[in-house]
Structure 1
Amino acid sequence: MAVATTSALRQRTLTALTLVPLVIGAVLWLPTPLFALILAGVIGVGAWEWAALAGVTDQRLRALYPLLVGGAMALLWPYPQGLFWLAIASVLWWLWQTRRLLSMRRVVPAAGVDGLLLAVGLLVLVAPWAALVTLHDAPGGPALVLFLLFVIWSADTGAYFAGRRWGRTKLAPVLSPGKTRAGVYGGVLGAVLCALVFAWLQGLAPLHGLLLLLISAATALISVAGDLYESLLKRRCGAKDSGQLLPGHGGMLDRIDSLTAAAPLFLLGTTLIGVR
């Protein structure tokens, strides 16, 4: 068992070391249209996995769903204001889901194709694309996108170590037995520390810096909802991962689940305080 765990950790680390430089390079150096296109490809893979979690087993029908999601992104591209309103709708939906997920006591197994879930996927998958593209296109946008990613990574790291060290009370045992309240607190602390570094590097005024800390903490909190929601979808289907694309990490949705909830809130928050 120890050998298997070590092997899995090694595989997970190698995958991360390969992907992280590619992600950072794409965020910092690609023009926004190309960044949007590549991000659409990532979301498209997530849409393929989402269709399976929604009960679509026919491969030809399943392939139509990424095309539907891609079509929605293409229709939104010429309308920046529409991208912003989509982010607002997404934040409201995730706030509702957060309360629902934390109070859930049982998971009803999936039966057949869930049309409502396919419709929900349009919001869940297209909204983070819209938020990230809008952020990236603003002055200093690539740095903000990268900062958002570091906030999520810092929150994940803080949650992991705090949960292992102090985790006692489960957060949502029906959906994710490994998550604890201590882990959430550690994740928020990790996000705040990341924001402190960013505020110092950017030379933000004290008020803007304080508001950015609050937004980063809120982003870390709502990112947990994205993770729990994907856990719900997998438990409905009896699946361990959303796919096998990324060795040691599972599928694409397993990697972007937190981002689906975090990106729209981060966009709204940074817009309201005038950081972007």
Structure 2
Amino acid sequence: MLGPRVITALVLLAVLLPAIFVFPPLVWGVLTLAFLAVAAWEWVRLLPARAGGPAGAGAGLAAGAVLVAGAAALAWREHAPWPPMLVAVACLLLLAFWVFAAPTRLARHEARSGGAPLAAALLFGCWCALYELRLLGPVPLLSSMAVIWVADIAAYFFGRALGRRKLAPSISPGKSWEGAVGGFFAVAVAGLLAAGAPALQNSLPALLVQRTGPVLAVAALVAIAALSIVGDLHESLLKREAGVKDSGWILPGHGGMLDRIDALIPTMPAALLLYQLLR
């Protein structure tokens, strides 16, 4: 299983890195829009049949809705900026869902409510944030995503070494409180180090430290890492309710697209909102 996993990761890097560093932002926008549309299709395939399950047309409609809305948003953004107030309100609404509604859904084991419209709206919102962050530059985009990567990698190793108390045993038995705290600690340390690097002065950690000070900056970065756990658990519950191991098969060794971006869905709008407020 390791071979296909590594090959898929290398292929993804070969596609994504030029889109971030070499080609115009529009290429990143088109590429990630396709990814998020696939994720919408996978999400709705996990829902009950009445909401567009495996035998229904809802998955295709959700993916099509993301593509159409994204194409319209791309055309708009190519000619004029999206109104800052509109972006901020949209990010706030998405953040409110992940802070208030998503934990309730997890507690009640009801991740599949809301149907295809909710899936399409959340994934479209994530895509808008990814595109706008790329328009701000490679460093804002990568530093925002790096918060999630650092938290996830550190949580894995801390959890393997110290994990005793399960974080959500009925949803994702592999996650532990010790792993989560280890991830938060790693994010705090990495964020402060990044904030001091001259080449990363436009990064999210640096901007937070410059505008709010190190204490509030660490609190914001840890909050984003906590949001990533909510997104991960939400997708795990979706799969558990659907009785499947992976959201799809499009990425050999990794599962589906949704499996790879679940932590980005709640966190990218939050990161963009911070940039909107602090720049």
Could you say whether these structures have the same fold, taking a TM-score greater than 0.5 normalized by the shorter chain as the test?
yes
Cα 1:109/1:161, change in 2 over 3 Å: closer
Residues in 2 aligned to 1:145 and 1:43: alpha-carbon distance in whole angstroms: 16
Contact conserved, 1:83 with 1:134, CA < 8 A, in 2?
no
* 2:170 is the counterpart of 1:168: no
- Counterpart of 1:199 (choices 195, 215, 218) is 195
Residues in 1 aligned to 2:4 and 2:221: alpha-carbon distance in whole angstroms: 30
Residues in 1 aligned to 2:238 and 2:16: alpha-carbon distance in whole angstroms: 26
Amino acid at match of 1:273: L
Specify the SS of the correspondent of 1:177. Answer: strand
Q: Which runs of 5+ in 2 are unaligned?
A: none
Specify the SS of the correspondent of 1:250. Answer: coil
The equivalent of 1:51 in structure 2 is 44
Residues in 1 aligned to 2:223 and 2:121: alpha-carbon distance in whole angstroms: 20
TM-score, structure 1 as length reference: 0.84
The equivalent of 2:179 in structure 1 is 183
Q: Please say which of residues 202-211 and 226-235 is displaced more in the overlay.
A: 202-211
Equivalences for 1:129-168 in 2 at 5 Å? 129-138=127-136, 141-168=137-164
- Cα shift at 1:168: 1.0
The equivalent of 2:8 in structure 1 is 15
Give the RMSD, CA atoms, in angstroms.
2.4
The equivalent of 1:80 in structure 2 is 82
- Counterpart of 1:99 (choices 90, 99, 103) is 103
Residues in 1 aligned to 2:266 and 2:3: alpha-carbon distance in whole angstroms: 28
| Percent identity over paired residues | 34
Specify the SS of the correspondent of 1:171. Answer: strand
- Cα shift at 1:21: 4.3
Cα 1:44/1:165, change in 2 over 3 Å: same
Q: Please say which of residues 44-53 and 8-17 is displaced more in the overlay.
A: 8-17
Residues in 2 aligned to 1:15 and 1:231: alpha-carbon distance in whole angstroms: 21
- Counterpart of 2:276 (choices 256, 261, 271) is 271
For this pair of structures, how many residues does the alignment match?
Answer: 259
Q: Which runs of 5+ in 1 are unaligned?
A: 1-7
Amino acid at match of 1:41: A
